[in-house]
Amino acid sequence: MSIKSPVRLLPAFKDYIWGGRKLVQDYNKVCSLDKVAESWELSAHKDGSSIINGGDFDKMLFSDYINKYGNDVLGERAKKFDFFPILIKFIDAKDNLSVQVHPNDEYAKEKEGEYGKTEMWYVLDAEPGAYLYFGFNSKISKEEFLQRIKDNTITEVLNKVDVKKGDVFFIESGTVHAIGAGMVICEIQQNSNTTYRVYDYDRRDKDGNPRPLHIEKASEVAVLAPPKISNSFSDADTLAECKYFNVKKYVIDTSKTFTCTDECFTSVIVTDGSGTLYMNEESFTLKKGDSLFIPAQNSSFSVEGNLEILLTTV
């Protein structure tokens, strides 16, 4: 094994009140928490780092690995970012998530000391009747926005979208949104954990207290208009393409070879099925829910089996 070898990652888990157990039951996660709302599959964030599983760096925090090897594994394109650029997670929404919004980079760096949060959702599973909120159904004023939060009627002016397995949503920073109950999502996002809640169905935390809202900050960053929707990409495999990340989906039923370069690292997330990844005379078994980080290098790797994978670069 060398510094250029792929590393297998174990996630950091979050037990938010709206989570379920599908990540354990259906995605091979090993976690004793009663509620497994999120698994942070590729994370160097201070609020939850992934952990390397196996090889020379076994049990090392992924954040420590990045801090130690930096440019040797990240590639040239990552140099434009102040720190590790992305965070990838699985989300199990047994219950509705709060209505929320994320700031852009300029606002987040000034107020929170980290990046803003543009993200994309790939729907892995959705129960009948599942839906989400994605922006507004028409343009509204800041005054109406604040009044509807106060009156608990904010969802009446949100853009409600029915959801099915395989759907993709690109959520720019400033877009008011909410994941609804009954779905599992793979989220690729900027490396940020800044969320401003605007409405939370009057839910209580485990101590019986209302979860905090962030209405003033939300009102300063929210785009009070219908979302911009664009799905025109250079090839059919692309799910998202922006200045922060690029995501491609591949369904493999025999084998496929991929090229990587010293320009950027590659994240491999297995969303269904099983198989094997071969690279530099090493092999890595793959199953649903797995996450591998491939350091930047001029090389190639192949994937064999019957599986679906997401490849993310910056």
Distance of CA 37 to the CA centre of its chain: 13
Instruction: Give the amino acid at 269.
Output: I
φ and ψ of 85, to 5 deg: -80, -25
Catalytic residues: 197
Contact yes or no for 308/27 (Cβ under 8 A): no
In sequence order, the 6+-apart residues with CB closer than 8 A to the CB of 194 are 102, 103, 108, 112, 114, 116, 117
**For 13-153, where are the alpha helices, taking DSSP H only?**
22-26, 62-69, 71-74, 105-111, 142-151
Contacts of 208 (CB under 8 A, 6+ apart): none
